[in-house]
Structure 1
């Protein structure tokens, strides 16, 4: 049951975003040293163990958690998310943390734009205006006609599109399946898919990097656990705007750890995307109030 302790929910969401940003930084480091598919595969092994543990506890048994009326859809969702993680981590190494995340945070706007044709939800004129402004922000970040456009930016765009589709499919699946079922299939289907793909790209890892890999796995499980707790203590619409703090934390890591640049167009574009995203969340909340 969702609570209404908004203050605690905001604190938990902020901490969750800090952990996820740290996870992104570790992923960027490891993916620069080793094959992306192997890194994501090992991460998913740990994530699957976490999912099985949580699912069994919440649903009473793994069998209960796995019960679904839509096995094909749930499997596709899980595989799609795993592949999206691979694409996003690749974007970190090709484009950098800051610009990749600045583009990726546009995914809620993509979800809002596609929720009408895919889910049959109503999207009013105000929300369409916000979506348009947000996409202008993405163009400001990309600078397609400015002579400095990087084709690697399309990798981050692809990740945002994939995650938006995953989000929409999750909402669609929720019409017939429980949240526990969706959570179970997200972890297990993704782990199986990554094992089939990633095992062919195995390579030796230095002892110190195994420690970083352990930190990556623990941070991922911890972040997901805190995210679950966040939505248990507060309404999603109240805490969701604070998810944009991940960009702030990622930017700090990118600047201080990886010596990335924070260009003016990225600041302006990301500001437009965030403002549009928060307005979209606010309008959605008013519509359901």
Structure 2
């Protein structure tokens, strides 16, 4: 986890030439997004395991109790401490993103149990495209026609994965679609608040708003926990903290529209975990469609790098 000296490094970076700063920040953000995607994939596997034995709301509530404690301890060590972390210029947006995220997690865990990791993520993978499409009207970010074309190719890849008309479009398939829409809104709100609030403030509000919301509905779902599941629960809590912080930091360093395609790499990790650990089937059309989606994401990244070097907006 980044500590004090890395925040100081960000300050010193401001003296660098604008173009060099943008390229360096974007590279860091991409690496953070890829790392977060791998951690999220591992976390999803643990959630599927626990969610098959316990209520998803109960599992998410326990995870958020740990998350909120971790956030509070980490923020208390930062300059200004908790008093600084509580001060946000956009309190309603911070509360909204925290609440949306925690219930998106509940919806998605339920989908893992009902549909499996691979099928859920094959549908959920549309959320980065939703973000790219909405980042213009919502955040004022400029997206060129080449990146729009890449988004279109990415959607074709998702259609290959889903094979419309082959029975994938069920009522249960609505769960990952709902989760994707919620996560897209959360991601846009994260980028929105990052313009005024530093990462630690957003991190704090993610944990506190989320834990209050999930506890209000989760206590009635309480049930005994088997001793053999405690290590998995602890690992779930640790991965959640790490991945969400990486995500917040990444949005501070790069545009949402340039960064989001790299979230597609999570589909690759999910497929590997689903097949090797949970015995799920990775059909050829899922592999082909996933490769197209990742390729579209890589092209989008390449275009954003070209624009940065050319000094374009």
TM range, smaller chain? 0.7 to 0.9
- After TM superposition, the structure 1 stretch with the greater mean CA deviation from structure 2, 121-130 or 85-94, is 121-130
Residue in 2 aligned with 1:151?
Answer: 171
How far apart, CA to CA, are the structure 2 residues paired with 1:111 and 1:151? 24
Deviation at 1:205, TM superposition (A): 1.7
- After TM superposition, the structure 1 stretch with the greater mean CA deviation from structure 2, 173-182 or 83-92, is 173-182
Count of equivalent residues: 287
Deviation at 1:15, TM superposition (A): 5.4
Residue in 1 aligned with 2:218?
Answer: 198
Deviations 1:198-236 (A, max 9, x none): 1111112212122221221123234446x379859xx75
Which of 52, 74, 90 is residue 110 of structure 2 equivalent to? 90
- After TM superposition, the structure 1 stretch with the greater mean CA deviation from structure 2, 50-59 or 190-199, is 50-59
Relative to structure 1, is the Cα distance of residues 59 and 94 closer, same or farther in structure 2, using a 3 angstrom cutoff?
farther
Which of 109, 117, 120 is residue 137 of structure 2 equivalent to? 117
Structure 1 position 273 matched with structure 2 position 293: yes
Structure 1 position 161 matched with structure 2 position 181: yes
Moved >6 Å (runs of 4+): 5-13, 237-241
- After TM superposition, the structure 1 stretch with the greater mean CA deviation from structure 2, 135-144 or 184-193, is 135-144
CA contact (8 A) 1:81 1:162 kept: yes
How far apart, CA to CA, are the structure 2 residues paired with 1:201 and 1:283? 48
CA contact (8 A) 2:58 2:219 kept: yes
| RCO comparison, higher one (Cα < 8 Å, 6+) | 1
CA contact (8 A) 1:109 1:277 kept: no
For residues 135-146 of structure 1, the aligned pairs below 5 Å read 135-146=155-166
Residue in 1 aligned with 2:97?
Answer: 77
Deviation at 1:259, TM superposition (A): 0.9
Deviations 1:146-181 (A, max 9, x none): 345343222112211111111111111222222222
Deviation at 1:133, TM superposition (A): 1.6
CA contact (8 A) 2:89 2:196 kept: yes
Aligned-partner SS, 2:78: helix
Relative to structure 1, is the Cα distance of residues 168 and 46 closer, same or farther in structure 2, using a 3 angstrom cutoff?
same
How far apart, CA to CA, are the structure 2 residues paired with 1:14 and 1:140? 23
Which of 233, 248, 255 is residue 213 of structure 1 equivalent to? 233
Using the size of structure 2 for normalisation, the TM-score is 0.80
Deviation at 1:261, TM superposition (A): 0.6
Residue in 2 aligned with 1:287?
Answer: 307
Using the size of structure 1 for normalisation, the TM-score is 0.86
CA contact (8 A) 2:50 2:59 kept: yes
CA contact (8 A) 1:104 1:157 kept: yes
